[in-house]
Amino acid sequence: MIVRGSELLIKAKKDGYAVPAFNVDNLESVLGVLNATSILSKPIIIQTIPRTLKYGGIATYSSLVKANYKGGADIAIHLDHGGDLQVCRDCIDAGYTSVMIDGSMLEFDKNVQLTKQVVDMAHASGVCVEAELGTIGGKEETEGQIKYTEVDEAVKFVELTGVDSLAIGVGTAHGVYKGTPHIAIDRIKEIADVVDIPLVLHGASGLSDEVIRNCIKAGISKINFATHLRQAFTKGLKEGLVSKEATYDPKTYLPYAIKAVQDVAMGIIKLCQPD
């Protein structure tokens, strides 16, 4: 079934594994991750960032997922890094079962205010909310500028907002890492010890398997993977174009990209959920 994201995360937290959340861009990446969850019978979250929604249309991705989901393990459809109340509302109307509101760049009080607004709106529609506190590195920040999530602020934030899951800043970054990232595993544990809701790790493409396992052990219940999947899609597509050089029908070379996404997603699912 397609369920609320929090249902998957609460179960993962209780049983000590993480649900991988895959950022999709098109039909082929949706098919790749759906094949992976169906073969392994393990839950996943399929998510899109607002930039993807702008590229493909807000109703497109939930329709692609719903039309191609064949049952088996439960999944959720999630908005990643929603920037305002409206995009969260639009995704809920389009059938998303989970949304993220990212107010992490705001002052603490403003982040609380925005998150609370989205929580009230989403809960009224039966949809759960992920928020972010602290910063996750990206294109602009260097490692020294990443703000780790403070333990006491996390407790206060969850209490004040009633949010369902929380993305924390512990040294990860989006995109491709330039050097070896230093992840504050202890900080994850400190927060998990005092915060009841599931914790989320962003920017996991490029972390070693060992670091990812340690993050899960320390208390992470959802891990986002975007870059790995995009790299797999592009590599698979290039291979398909070379192998089927004589053809002009996309349906002959795009399956290479689907298979490449599927293989990477299967590896990630196994890593997040050891038997």
Residue 102 catalytic?
no
Residues lying near Zn ion in the complex (CB under 5 A) are found at 202
Q: Closest separation between CB of residue 198 and Zn ion, Å?
A: 15
In this complex, which beta carbon is closest to Zn ion, that of residue 43 or of residue 82? 82
Helix (H, G, I), strand (E, B) or coil at 128: strand
- CA-derived radius of gyration, the chain: 18
Active-site residue, from 15, 25, 74, 80: 80
| Separation CA 30–CA 12 (nearest Å) | 22
**What residue number has its CB nearest to Zn ion?**
202
Using CB atoms within 10 Å of the CB of residue 141, give its burial: 0 to 12 exposed, 13 to 18 middle, 19+ buried. Answer: middle
| Separation CA 10–CA 180 (nearest Å) | 31
In this complex, which beta carbon is closest to Zn ion, that of residue 202 or of residue 222? 202
In this complex, which beta carbon is closest to Zn ion, that of residue 38 or of residue 47? 47
Q: Closest separation between CB of residue 136 and Zn ion, Å?
A: 6
Q: Which helix (H) or strand (E) holds 155?
A: helix 151-161
Q: Closest separation between CB of residue 31 and Zn ion, Å?
A: 23
Handedness of CA 93, 94, 95, 100 (dihedral sign): negative
| Separation CA 38–CA 17 (nearest Å) | 18
Q: Closest separation between CB of residue 182 and Zn ion, Å?
A: 18
In this complex, which beta carbon is closest to Zn ion, that of residue 195 or of residue 200? 200
Catalytic positions are 80
